[in-house]
Structure 1
Amino acid sequence: MVNIAIFFIIYKYLIYMTVLIFIIATEKYIRFFPKLKKTIQQYFLTDYKKVFYVFTNHDLENEVDVIYDKIFPLPWPLPSLLRFHLFSNSKLPDNIDLIYYFDVDTYLVDYIGNEVLHNKDEKISVVSHPYNLLDPNYNSFETNTQSTSYVENWKNYEYIHASFFGGYKDNFLSMCDDIKKLIDVDLKSNIIGKWYDESYLNKYVIDNKCKILDCGYSHPDFWAGDLPVKKKIIHLIKDWESIRGYRNEKTAGVCLIAVGDSCYAQYAYNLAASIKYTDEDAKIAVFTYGTCIDILNDEEKKIFDNIIFIKSEDLYINGRMHPNLFKLYLYKYTPFEYSVYMDVDSIWVSKFKFSQLVDNYIRDNINFVGQCRDVIDIREKPLLYGFHDTNKINLHFKFESNIAYQLHGQFVLFNKTEENIKFFEESIKIYLYQLDKKIVDWNWFNCPIEEFSMTVATLTLPFKVDDRVIKVAPVITQDENIYEIDKTSSKKLILTINGSETHDIANKIGGYVCISQDITQRYIKLYNQTVDEINNSSNFKLKYWIQKNCIL
């Protein structure tokens, strides 16, 4: 029988234990704090006294249970990178037993009890990242061998999400000191971990025994409950446009081309509407020529923020239309600082917002991203796309690099840097040379392939691509042979039908690797299903289904 006196002593001790909650809420992030505070009070360690310690740049008076520590808002990524410095340097009240950190853009939906307390032989409690379930083959760990956060043999470890962690006070503060030292060493060498504070937290967890909670304690709000965990803490999709301080006045938008057959204007309308279905604030420009766009009525044209007409000299050569060439001229026409080109015979299928896709790159100062399916060293693999001999191509162009980024033209993200402008100008020269000399037998409606020109340009220029965007391929193409769309994927966001209803045209004229007519028809079915799904749940009505071939 349990001794009643001992029970009440233990119970009295528990209810008088105090948990300090660290939260960082600068700038517009302060708007998330009231909901987080309310749900922590309702669900988190309900038998414990709680004190909130909030770092903010707002002038706020302390409350009975809230300490506001005013800090200066730093440029990104320092607010994230230096949070362990904030924790270490904070002036804690007396009699704190436990410390936990919550991202301010989270909130609780279920009771969290003593299961988040770590054992004596464990340093701290942390949370498994949702992508361990959703994309286990993606390496989020630090890859820079010079960084103190570098992780070797990363597949042996579980990646940690830095949205919620904590434990006993002494352990928490000791962890902060250890991580702070790692960061300081890197900063002296001008190194910052791939994912800032999270990279160093992961290194700490690898080097120290910690309690790892499942990703139900950091469940993304855009997943519809299909993860095999119970939701405890919801992590919000950020309103990147209005919150991220690093973005300032930078503009980002989608660039679409609708020329030739009027169905390309219909495709452009569908793609624009599917993007705005998940991100109403997305900016979209369509570039058109002649009467192509006139198939859309005035109301439908409002889906585009800009309708820009192309100069004939940038589209026609000797009376023949070259839409592929115009892709390379986009840098002259785009109204955006950061531009994302997508082929219009595509549709946005992801639950991710367009702004999230772009801001992931803007945040890290990545200036160029392509639909890059492979990267090859031509000294070892001399064939581009598996059949174009670089030894023969080198007879026409002087190569400055041995590394070829095999780009595809369905997706390109770029900003107007001097390096990128030189890259597009070089690609145009290669395109025009290919049109005249036909150095390879590869064309689209008797026009050179722009992706071939861009790929060769990665060899003729010292054009560097950030290692984080190597092998990026956000467009689902027919050679992937999918049966259904994973709307929660952060790697595959767009479905393309590869330009035609028929396998024969897509293969013989389009130059695409379309495996069979059955697969082509399956992709068209998936496209039309997406149209129906959006129409059934959105104010944006997609009015066009794939029913005919498009002919330039």
Structure 2
Amino acid sequence: MADCEEVFFAADERCSRRKCFYLLLCVVALFLLSFCWYGVRRTALCSHMAIFCSSQTSTRSSEDAFQLDLMKDVSLERRTDVLMMTPWLAPIVWNGSYNIDILNAQFHQRHVRIGLTVFAIKKYTVFMKTFIETAEKFFMVGHKVNYYVFTDRVKEMPNISLADGRQLVVLEVPSYKRWQEVSMRRMEMIRDHSSKRFINEVDYLVCVDVDIKFTDEVGVEILSDVFGTLHPRYFRAPRERFTYERRKASAAYIPPDEGDFYYAGGYFGGTVEEVYMLTSFCHSEMMTDKGNNIEAIWHDKSYLNKYFLYHKPTKVLSPEYLWDNNMGVPEVLKRRRSVIVPKNYNAVRNR
């Protein structure tokens, strides 16, 4: 009986081994079959993708190809001598902090149109020729630009040939007796034309003083939803030295323990919608103060700084974009992209 059991168990063990062998053989066969199928599918897929990519490459615009090529070698300068980012993570634009070729490709692809606003009121028309000539050489070269010139002396506008895609639009406006009034009324005029005209003609507005000249490249690197420019005199000064409006009775009031930067009044901008909101705020606050017989210490600049305190700009321009040569040239200033033109204020104001 024991011998029979041994024979039975031996036969059963051989049967189990045979089953395991066949099962293993099936697994190996399935593995080989799957591997072969995957290889065939991969070859076909690669072949299909090669044809697809080839087709896409042949139809891709030269602009897109150029942009992709640029991405292969992007070297940006990492500066430690200046602040490159605001506490709210908005970039501060300094030389070397961007690749203009990549940015140009992006903005060309979007067919962006830029409006540049200036006010040539009274004798400030004498600055127009230099302003336009230097802008044609350095400002947004290769992009579509509308020069919007607000003036009370239309006949004094210079006749200057402009590059293709650029035009001079003269907007006749009333004059005012006091230069302070002229300065503050700018916000109202930009606001009104933003809603009536600019919104239909351009995508971005750059609002600058006419008594500057461009001396180096100013391109699409400055464009953002809303941007301001660090004042050349105060960009390294502590908050205590900022000349904010400190009278509590004024709508431009900023408390002593508040304030991020001191922004120049003659260089700001953004999308037309954002510029409309900025100028609307400033004009409204000016009218509030005027009703209370108050005039902010630095006029429209005081209200602009109040706006930027509570409506943070999405980009901040370094003093490279607005410099005063009377202050010398600090080591951190690698380029001077636009500078204030020396002038006799008594000769051009209130005349």
Report the TM range for the smaller structure's normalisation.
0.5 to 0.7
1:33 aligns with 2:128: yes
State how 1:318-329 maps to structure 2 within 5 Å.
none
State how 1:137-536 maps to structure 2 within 5 Å.
137-154=240-257, 156-210=259-313, 211-226=315-330, 228-229=332-333, 230-245=335-350
Structure with the bigger RCO (C-alpha within 8 Å, sep 6+) is 2
RMSD: 2.6
- 1:110 match: 216
Counterpart Cα distance in 1 of 2:107 and 2:307 = 34
- 2:152 match: 57
**For the structure 1 residues 104 and 190, does the alpha-carbon distance in structure 2 shift closer, same or farther, using more than 3 Å as the test?**
same
**For the structure 1 residues 153 and 97, does the alpha-carbon distance in structure 2 shift closer, same or farther, using more than 3 Å as the test?**
same
Q: Is the 8 A contact 2:215 2:339 kept in 1?
A: yes
Q: Which amino acid aligns with 1:223?
A: M
**For the structure 1 residues 15 and 156, does the alpha-carbon distance in structure 2 shift closer, same or farther, using more than 3 Å as the test?**
closer
Q: Is the 8 A contact 2:212 2:339 kept in 1?
A: yes
Which whole-Å deviations, capped at 9, do the CAs of 1:315-370 have from their partners, x for residues lacking one? xxxxxxxxxxxxxxxxxxxxxxxxxxxxxxxxxxxxxxxxxxxxxxxxxxxxxxxx
Counterpart Cα distance in 2 of 1:165 and 1:50 = 16
Counterpart Cα distance in 1 of 2:113 and 2:154 = 26
Runs (5+) with no aligned partner, structure 2 = 1-52, 65-104, 160-165
Which whole-Å deviations, capped at 9, do the CAs of 1:23-57 have from their partners, x for residues lacking one? 10011111111111122222122232111111111
- 1:281 match: none
Residue 72 of structure 1 aligns to a residue whose secondary structure is coil
**For the structure 1 residues 234 and 187, does the alpha-carbon distance in structure 2 shift closer, same or farther, using more than 3 Å as the test?**
same
Which whole-Å deviations, capped at 9, do the CAs of 1:413-439 have from their partners, x for residues lacking one? xxxxxxxxxxxxxxxxxxxxxxxxxxx
Question: Which structure would you say has the larger Rg?
Answer: 2
- 2:175 match: 73
* Superposition deviation, residue 11 in structure 1: 5.8
- 1:47 match: 142
Q: Which amino acid aligns with 2:342?
A: I
- Please report the TM-score for the alignment, with normalisation by the length of structure 1: 0.41
- Which among 60, 63, 69 is matched to residue 5 of structure 1? 60
Counterpart Cα distance in 2 of 1:133 and 1:21 = 24
1:128 aligns with 2:230: yes
Amino-acid identity (%): 20
Q: Name the one with the larger strand percent.
A: 1
Q: Is the 8 A contact 2:191 2:275 kept in 1?
A: no
* Superposition deviation, residue 16 in structure 1: 3.4
Counterpart Cα distance in 1 of 2:148 and 2:269 = 14
Q: Which amino acid aligns with 1:130?
A: P
Residue 212 of structure 1 aligns to a residue whose secondary structure is strand
Q: Is the 8 A contact 1:139 1:154 kept in 2?
A: no
Residue 125 of structure 2 aligns to a residue whose secondary structure is helix
Counterpart Cα distance in 2 of 1:162 and 1:12 = 26
1:18 aligns with 2:113: yes
Q: Is the 8 A contact 1:19 1:99 kept in 2?
A: yes
Q: Is the 8 A contact 1:159 1:202 kept in 2?
A: yes
- 1:338 match: none
**For the structure 1 residues 160 and 227, does the alpha-carbon distance in structure 2 shift closer, same or farther, using more than 3 Å as the test?**
farther
**For the structure 1 residues 19 and 154, does the alpha-carbon distance in structure 2 shift closer, same or farther, using more than 3 Å as the test?**
farther
Which whole-Å deviations, capped at 9, do the CAs of 1:489-530 have from their partners, x for residues lacking one? xxxxxxxxxxxxxxxxxxxxxxxxxxxxxxxxxxxxxxxxxx
Q: Is the 8 A contact 1:219 1:234 kept in 2?
A: yes
Counterpart Cα distance in 1 of 2:154 and 2:223 = 34
Counterpart Cα distance in 2 of 1:15 and 1:226 = 37
Q: Is the 8 A contact 1:23 1:102 kept in 2?
A: yes
**For the structure 1 residues 96 and 144, does the alpha-carbon distance in structure 2 shift closer, same or farther, using more than 3 Å as the test?**
same
Counterpart Cα distance in 2 of 1:227 and 1:155 = 29
**For the structure 1 residues 6 and 179, does the alpha-carbon distance in structure 2 shift closer, same or farther, using more than 3 Å as the test?**
farther
Counterpart Cα distance in 1 of 2:340 and 2:117 = 16
Q: Name the one with the larger helix percent.
A: 2
Runs (5+) with no aligned partner, structure 1 = 249-552
Residue 67 of structure 1 aligns to a residue whose secondary structure is strand
